[in-house]
Every structure is written in C-alpha cells, then in structure tokens.
Structure 1
C-alpha cells in the first residue's frame, strides 16, 4: 500500500465525477482519464479491516479473479491517504453495463438469465463466494461475457464451494425485490435451470428451498 499525500490526492481527484458518496464524504470517483478511485474509510475500532484494509482486499480479490479467468477491474495502485483517513484503490473499470442497468432491455430475456445461472455456478465451482452478489455488481461486457465489480466483500477457497455456502449465496442474490422479480418473476426457471445445468452438487429441491 502506497502513501499518498493530500496534495497529490487533490491533484489526482481534480475534475473527477463523483459516482457515489455518503454523509462521510466521497466513496467512488471517476477520474478525468476514465479510471476509478474507490475510497474506503479507515476503521478506528478493532476489526479485521484494521489489519487487512478493504482497499487491499479489493486489490487482492482482483488478482485472484483474474487468475481464475473471471473478468474484473484491473488495479493500478492501492493508496493510504492519511490526511483524510482513507484508503483507496485506483483501477481501470471493467467495461460494460450492470445487469440491473439492462434488465429491461430487449436482450435481457431468458438467455441472459440462464447465462447468469451458469456464471454463478462457475464462481462456485472456482471457489468464489461473493457475499455482495446482486445484479448491480455483475457486468455484461461488450464481449457478452459476465464479470464482477465492487469485490471487496468476497471470500475465495482453493476448491469448489461447499453446498451450504452456495445456498446462502442464492439468498444474497435474491434480497433485492427488483432483482428477484427479474430473475424469478412469473415462476421463470431460466436462471434456476442455468445454474443446475452447470453444477451437480445442489439439487433442484435444495435450490427451490433456498430461493423461497
């Protein structure tokens, strides 16, 4: 993690577009060159973030995903900005649109739902447990492949995920009503069947119970 003094931070962020902010300040900036700067508030209380900052986790997760052939952002630098008590990751974004952005488009029908099911199965088979899984964090790239963004909240394992983690991950994906309606509305089975076809550990009955 590289120290970034306040003057250089201001120069880096000059003219940037604020994409996300909260009461404590800016969270995501699009810089003038098109790259992104994601800011994480430094934790003062005792927590895992004190010894393993979220900016570092984000960067490490990008490396792991790339090694496992999952499209994701490309990290350029990881900073500690003492003046504003923030850590930051500077990265080139993954091109494309989130599934939440395109769910109402003409090409967002059952084919895309099934593709997402297969993609989630691929993640599970490759030992990736993405706790923040939702349609706003999955990107459809210009090459029509799926990838992940906003990946600080992710755990990886050397082997495929065990069944309990897979079923829990489905509950995470369905916690937003808009996502759930697009995935499963009117008893749509495309997402469900896409996942089942790409793995053999979870049964249809178990998935149905997890998604109920």
Structure 2
C-alpha cells in the first residue's frame, strides 16, 4: 500500500490544453457512450482513461486508475509479467483520471493459437497455459477478465497479463471456489472454451499441479460454454 500511496502522490494534474497535447496524434483503441477509454499514443505507449463516477461512489475514494496501478505493482511483486506504468494523471476538465503505460511486447494467446497449424505445438502451448494459470492461482491472483485475449505470449515465449483493471491479489493461494469461478471466466468465449476442453489436456495438466480435480474444471467450463 505504501508504493500505491507514492504513485498517488506523484499524480500530475493536466489542464485541458495539456491533455490534448498529450493525446495529439493518438489512435483511439477503445471508446464507449461516455467517450474515449484507451488511446495509443505516438510514442507507442497507451493512455487508459477512467471516468469519475458519482460523488458518493467508492471510486471517488479509491479511483479505478489507482487500482490499475496497484495491480501492476502486485503482479510485479509476484513475478508475473504485465504492463509498465509511465504516468498517472488527473484531468478535471473532462472528469477523468488516466494511466499511461508501456505495453508488453507480443501477441494475445487467442491470436497465437489461431496461427498454429501443428497439433504438437498447440499441445505444448495448452500445457504452458495450464502451468501459467496454476501459477496465478497459487500466487493469489484472481483476474476476473482472465481469457485468451488478456493473456499475452511474449517474443521469448513467456506468458503475461494485460487489461488488468478487474483484478484482486491475495496473500494466500486461491480457494477452490475462486479457482472454479475463474475457469468460468475463461470459458465465457465459446471458441476459447472449446480449445481448453480439447482432449481435457488443459484441465489434466492443471490438476497435476494442484489439488483440484480435472473433472471439476471440465464440468464448469462445459456448463459455461453451453449457456
């Protein structure tokens, strides 16, 4: 928490003019009905914008932007590769806070799987994913947005996490109920679920590393996929 306070203390307040100078030449990656959410800046970094909620919202006390920074710190402490924060901003004129970060190099797991033709390569990658998820759970990482689009395969083959705003890190390993809930998250996309369920390789590898039975994992993902 001390590190998080230091990040908050280093907040830079941007005027409207300074904000538009920062985003000049940026590509809009994501937006919604409230406006821009993620910008790709000319220096190759990203700017993630967080809307300030209702005055009485908990996010006024602990903004989502600070949660994002907290998650990068806690993942780094656990040796899990993720994005690197470059700056933290308040932008009162547009009622936003923002985090500027350097992305991880690599491709999403989903994209990598689609590019693999050889069954043995797909098998090897599935086993690595199972090892990675088991590592996350053992280190107390509960990532609600855990799916193949948010797991990155780096150029050296190491796996990392992106889009980490919706996450909690605990000091203890995750309980069985939390782990099964996390497998439901992984099976929300049907194509992901079908790949993870193929030959029960993913669940069998995970089960060999933990005390959770493969049948329970397959059942949860199969049930979620069928909805």
State the distance in 1 between where 2:61 and 2:202 align: 38
In the TM superposition, residue 7 of structure 1 has moved relative to its aligned partner by 1.1
Select the structure that is richer in helix. 2
**Does residue 1:123 correspond to 2:133, yes or no?**
no
Query: Number of aligned pairs?
Result: 209
TM-score, structure 1 as length reference:
0.93
In the TM superposition, residue 45 of structure 1 has moved relative to its aligned partner by 5.4
**Does residue 1:182 correspond to 2:192, yes or no?**
no
**Does residue 1:15 correspond to 2:15, yes or no?**
no
Structure 2: runs of 5+ lacking an equivalent: 1-7, 223-227
Q: Is the Cα contact below 8 Å between 1:122 and 1:198 reproduced in 2? A: no
Q: 2:36 aligns with which of 20, 23, 26?
A: 26
DSSP 3-state at the match of 1:134:
coil
State the distance in 2 between where 1:139 and 1:174 align: 17
TM-score, structure 2 as length reference:
0.87
In the TM superposition, 1:132-211 aligns within 5 A as: 132-184=145-197, 187-200=198-211, 202-211=212-221
Structure 1: runs of 5+ lacking an equivalent: none
Q: Is the Cα contact below 8 Å between 1:96 and 1:142 reproduced in 2? A: yes
State the distance in 1 between where 2:215 and 2:205 align: 15
State the distance in 2 between where 1:127 and 1:191 align: 20
Q: Is the Cα contact below 8 Å between 1:74 and 1:91 reproduced in 2? A: yes
State the distance in 2 between where 1:208 and 1:181 align: 10
State the distance in 1 between where 2:50 and 2:124 align: 36
In the TM superposition, residue 103 of structure 1 has moved relative to its aligned partner by 2.0
Name the structure 2 match of 1:37: 47
In the TM superposition, 1:98-109 aligns within 5 A as: 98-106=108-116, 109=122
State the distance in 2 between where 1:192 and 1:140 align: 20
DSSP 3-state at the match of 2:145:
coil
RMSD over equivalenced CA pairs, Å? 1.4
Deviations 1:124-176 (A, max 9, x none): 00000001111111100011011001111101110111111001100011011
In the TM superposition, residue 37 of structure 1 has moved relative to its aligned partner by 0.3
DSSP 3-state at the match of 2:115:
coil
Greater RCO (CA < 8 Å, at least 6 residues apart) = 1
**Does residue 1:86 correspond to 2:96, yes or no?**
yes
DSSP 3-state at the match of 1:43:
coil
Name the structure 1 match of 2:5: none
